[in-house]
Amino acid sequence: MADGVMDVTEHFGSSVFNDAVMRERLPKNVYKTLRKTIDEGEELDPTIADVVAAAMKDWAIEKGATHYCHWFQPMTGSTAEKHDSFISPTQDGRVIMEFSGKELIKGEPDASSFPSGGLRATFEARGYTAWDCTSPVFVKNDGANMTLFIPCAFCSYTDHALDKKTPLLRSMEALSKQAVRVLRALGNTTSKRVTATLGSEQEYFLIDRQFADERMDLICSGRTLFGAPSPKGQELEDQYFGSLHDRIGSFMNELNTELWALGISAKTQHNEVAPAQYEIAPIFATVNVATDWNQLTMETLRDVAGRHGFMCLLHEKPFAGVNGSGKHNNWSMGTNDGINLLDPGATPHDNLVFLTFLCAIVRAVDTYAPMLRASVASASNDHRLGANEAPPAIISVFLGEQLNEIFEQLATGKAKGGKGAGCIKLGVNSLPVLPKDNTDRNRTSPFAFTGNRFEFRMVGSSMSPSGANFVLNTIVAECLSQIADELEKSKSVNATCQDILSKIAKDHKRVVFNGNNYSAEWEKEAKKRGLPNLKTTPEAYAMILSKENYAVMEKHGVLTKEELTARTETLYEQYCLALNIEAKTMLYMAKRQILPACIEYSARLADAAKSVGTAGKTQKELLKTVCKLIDTASAGVVALEKARIAADGIDHADKKADAFLKKVIPVMNKLRESVDALEEIVDASIWPLPTYAEMLLMR
C-alpha cells in the first residue's frame, strides 16, 4: 500500500471491542458465555463480568483510554455520557487502573436533570444505566481525551424506562417472540430468533462555519428563522448526485475514516437535492445497533464538520424554500439463520411466509397509523410532514404494481395469476408466484416496499430512530401475534393462512396507495377512505394516549401505561421548549440585530432624501417603504413577545403545545414576513446576517 494510504480492512472496527477482539482476549469459556448472551439475549452471568471488564480495560488502555463511560440515550433525543477514570488509589499514594464487572454492567449517574415526564421525582432522582451487551463497547476520543464507551439502557430504580433505548430493546424481544410463533406455525422448525433490521439514510446540510457563527438562529435552533430566498435555489436540479466539491470530499473522507474505526459500515454518500445538502447511509444492522450507529453518526457529522470549517445542520428544515432533510428508515426482519422475512423468496412456501409477514405489516400500519405518525412528530419535523413537503402526514403503504395486484386478488379471494407468472396452490386457493425482483419505486410514499424491506420515510433527520422503530416493532408484533393465535389453533394451516391474508387484504386495502402522495387528489381520496391526516405535532400527540395504544404497548411488555403517559408528557414538553427557544431567538435577532440595522438604513435614506431635496423621488419612496416595514416588524416583535409569554405560562402540556401551535407560530411567521421583505431592500453592507445565497451557495 502506498505511503499514507489507509488500509480500510485493517482500519475498520479498530476502535471496537468486537467479536474478533473478544475471541482473542477472553478465555474460551467466558467468550462462549458472552457470545450466548449476545446472540440469544440472555442475562449476563455476573461471574464472568469481571473477566470481561478486565479484558476491556486492558484493551482500552492500550488504545490510549484513561476513562470509561456509560453511554445512554435519554428522552432528549441526544446521547448522554459521564466519564470516570480507571484510577484506583493504593496504600502507597500511587494508583492502579481498575475496572470491575459491576462497573461494566451497571452505572448510577446522578441523572435528576433528564426529562422523565414525572416518572421520577427529584427527591428519588436515582436512575441506573445497564450495559446493552448486544451493542459492542468502543473507544472514542474527544480531542486528546480517550474514553471507553459502554452502550447502555437507562431506567429508574422502579424499573421504568427513562430513555429511548429500553423500549426499543423490549420491542425487539416482542417482535422476535411473535415472529417465531408465526414461523413455527408455518412449519419453520429451525429459526430461533427474529431481529428487526435497520439501515438509516441520514440527510444533512453543511454550511460554512463563518456564516453559521453569525446566525443566532442556526446556533440556538438549528434552522434559519429569517431569510429571504436565494436567487438560485434547487430549480436547476444540478446538486442531486452532482460531483463532490473538494472541501466536501475531504470532509466525507474524514467522516468515513472516523465511522469505520467505530465499526459503522458507512457505505453510500452523495449530494442531495437542495444546495449544500448531502446524505450518508450505512449498511443495515440490527435495529438497536443501527440506532446507536445513527446517534454516533450524527455526533461525528457535527464534530468533523467543525474541523473542516463547516457547521453541520441536522434540522429537518434549516432553510425555507428548498428541500428539508429526512432519515429514511429502511426496516426489515431477519432470522438468526439468515432469512430476510421481507424477501419474497424462491419457493411457493417462502412466498406464503413472505406474504404473511407483509400482510401483518399492512394491518399494523393501518390499525396503528396515528401512533406511528406520532412517533415521528416533532416541532422540527412539522416543517416536512403536512407542510407540502415530502412525505405527507397521511400514512399509506406503497406495495408496487405486481405486489399490489396480488394484494387485490387476496382481497377479492380470486387469484388470477400475477403478471406473466404461474400459480401456486395454497389450500383451496392459489397464489401467483411472486417476482423476486420487485424494484419499482415510488419516491412519494411515506411507507414504501422496496423489494426486500420497507422504507419509512417520515422519520426526521435530527431524531433518534428509536421512537419510530419501537412503535413499528410493537405494532407488527401485535399483528403477528393475532395471526399466530389463529394458525396455532388451525388443523389446516395453509387454508387458514390464506383466509387470514384475504381478510387482512379486505380490511386494510384502504391504507395501500401506489399513486402520487404529494397530490391534492390524494389528500381528498385519503379523507374519503377515512385515513387520518394529522398535520401537526400536537394533533399527532393527542392520539397517543388511547385505549388501543396502551393495550398494545402493555401486552407486549414495551411500555406500561404509566411509562407511555410520562413519555408523551415529555414529548409535549420538548415540542414547547423547541418553539419557545425559536420564539426567543427570533426576538433576540429582531430586536438587537435586524431592527437596529434597518433603523440605521432608514436614517441614511432620510439623510439622502434631505440632501437631494425635491429631486430625490426614489430616496423618499424607499424611505417610506422601509419605515412602513420597520413599523410592521416592530409590531410583530411586540405581538410575538406577548404570545410567547402567554403560551409559556400555560400549565398543561397539551394546552401549552396547542397555544404554541396556534398562537405563537402564526405570529412568528408574520414577523418573518416583514423581516424578509426588509432583507430584500436594505443595503447589503448594513444587513447584519449572512444571506441564504451566501450560506447555500458559497463554499
Residue 80 or 281 having the CB closest to ligand ADP: 281
15 neighbors 261 (Cβ within 8 angstroms): yes
Q: Of 330 and 444, which has the nearer Cβ to ligand ADP?
A: 330
Strand partners, 285: 198
Q: Is 197 helix (H, G, I), strand (E, B) or coil?
A: strand
Does position 223 interact with ligand ADP (CB under 6 A)? The reply is no
Which of Mg ion, ligand ADP, none interacts with 103 (beta carbon under 5 to 8 A by kind)? Answer: none
Q: Which of 317, 274, 282 lies closest to 298, judged by CA?
A: 282
198 binds ligand ADP (CB under 6 A): yes
- Of the candidate spans 129-137, 449-457, 511-519, 554-562, the one that interacts with ligand ADP by CB under 6 A turns out to be 449-457
Least distance in angstroms from the C-beta of 269 to Mg ion: 13
In the complex, minimum distance from the CB of residue 132 to Mg ion, in angstroms, rounded to a whole number? 27
Whether the CB-CB separation of 273 and 220 falls below 8 Å is answered with no
Asked if 202 and 290 touch (Cβ cutoff 8 Å), the reply is no
CB of 342 to ligand ADP, least distance (A): 7
Query: By the 8 A CB rule, do 314 and 380 touch?
Result: no
Work out which of 140, 315, 328, 509 binds Mg ion, going by CB under 5 A: 328
Which listed range, 93-101, 328-336, 519-527, 674-682, lies at the site for Mg ion (CB under 5 A)?
A: 328-336
Which position among 127, 199, 227, 391 is part of the footprint of ligand ADP (CB under 6 A)? 199
Q: Which three cell numbers stand for residue 229?
A: 430566498
Residue 579 and residue 185: Cα distance in Å, rounded?
A: 50
Quick one: which of 245, 455, 526, 483 has its CA closest to 356? 483
Report, in Å, the least distance between residue 251 CB and Mg ion: 22
Contacted entry of ligand ADP, Mg ion, none for residue 373, CB cut-off 5 to 8 Å set by kind: none
**DSSP of 592-652, one letter per residue?**
IIIHHHHHHHHHHHHHHHHHHGGG-HHHHHHHHHHHHHHHHHHHHHHHHHHHHHHHHT--S
Using the contact rule CB under 6 A, the part of the chain among 120-128, 298-306, 394-402, 452-460 near ligand ADP is 452-460
Residue with Cβ nearer ligand ADP (329 or 537): 329
Range in contact with ligand ADP (rule: CB under 6 A) among 160-168, 184-192, 326-334, 470-478: 326-334
The window from 193-201, 299-307, 579-587, 685-693 that contacts ligand ADP (CB under 6 A) reads 193-201
Query: Considering CB distances under 5 to 8 angstroms, the limit depending on partner class, which of ligand ADP, Mg ion, none binds residue 284?
Result: ligand ADP
Q: What does 59 bind: Mg ion, ligand ADP, none (CB cut-off 5 to 8 Å by kind)?
A: none
Query: Among residues 690, 593, 696, 667, which one has the least CA distance to residue 321?
Result: 696
C-beta of 281 vs 374, nearer to ligand ADP: 281
Report the alpha-carbon distance of residue 609 to residue 623 in Å, rounded. Answer: 8
Q: Which long-range contacts (CB under 8 A, 24 or more apart) does 406-411 make?
A: 406/355, 406/431, 406/432, 406/434, 407/362, 407/505, 407/509, 407/512, 408/505, 408/509, 410/355, 410/359, 410/501, 410/502, 410/504, 410/505, 411/502, 411/505, 411/506, 411/509
CA 211 vs CA 432, 563, 595, 693: distances in Å: 58, 42, 20, 11
Cβ nearer to ligand ADP, comparing 197 with 230:
197
Interaction between residue 453 and Mg ion (CB under 5 A):
no
197 sits near ligand ADP (criterion: CB under 6 A)? yes
- Decide which of ligand ADP, Mg ion, none touches 281; Cβ closer than 5 to 8 Å per partner kind: ligand ADP
Applying CB under 6 A, the span of 88-96, 447-455, 578-586, 660-668 interacting with ligand ADP comes to: 447-455
Q: Which residues contact 159 (CB under 8 A, 6 or more apart)?
A: none
**Per the omega criterion (within 30 degrees of 0), is the bond before 391 cis?**
yes
Q: Give the interface segment with ligand ADP, choosing from 90-98, 222-230, 282-290, 505-513 (CB under 6 A).
A: 282-290
Give the other-Cβ count within 10 Å of 231's Cβ: 9
**Does 456 help bind ligand ADP (rule: CB under 6 A)?**
no
Find the shortest distance in angstroms from Cβ 328 to Mg ion.
4
* Antiparallel, parallel or unpaired: β 138-142 and 145-156: antiparallel
**Per CB under 6 A, 241 contacts ligand ADP:** no
**Residue 269 is a binding residue for ligand ADP (CB under 6 A):** no
Percent of the chain as helix, strand, coil, to the nearest 5 = 50, 15, 35
Which span (411-419, 451-459, 569-577, 685-693) binds ligand ADP, by CB under 6 A?
Answer: 451-459
Between residues 138 and 278, which has the closer beta carbon with respect to Mg ion?
A: 278
Nearer to ligand ADP, 447 or 541 (CB): 447
The footprint of Mg ion on residues 633-692 (CB under 5 A) is: none
User: For ligand ADP, which residue of 281, 341, 372, 459 counts as binding (CB under 6 A)?
Assistant: 281
Q: Reduced to 3 states, what is the DSSP secondary structure of residue 524?
A: helix
| Minimum distance from residue 279 beta carbon to Mg ion (Å) | 9
Spatial CA neighbour of 387 closest among 329, 443, 320, 441 = 320
**What string of H, E and C letters represents the secondary structure of 237-253?**
CCCCCCCCCHHHHHHHH
Tell me which of 129, 330, 464, 568 binds ligand ADP, using CB under 6 A: 330
**Stretches 175-183, 257-265, 324-332, 484-492: which one binds Mg ion (CB under 5 A)?**
324-332
- Is 180 or 540 the residue whose CB approaches ligand ADP more closely? 180
Nearest approach, Cβ of 204 to Mg ion (angstroms)?
15
Q: Work out the angle at residue 492's Cα, subtended by the Cα atoms of residues 486 and 494, and round it to the nearest 5 degrees.
A: 80
- Least distance between Mg ion and beta carbon 325 (Å): 13
Interactions with ligand ADP, residue window 28-87 (CB under 6 A): none
Question: Using CB atoms, what's the residue nearest to ligand ADP?
Answer: 199
Question: 614-631: b or e for each residue (b if 16 or more CB lie within 10 Å)?
Answer: eebeebbebbeebeebbe
| Alpha-carbon gap, residue 527 to 364, rounded angstroms | 19
Q: Cα separation of 522 and 536, whole Å?
A: 18
Return residues touching Mg ion (CB under 5 A): 328
Return residues touching ligand ADP (CB under 6 A): 197-199, 201, 268, 281-284, 330-332, 340, 452-453, 455
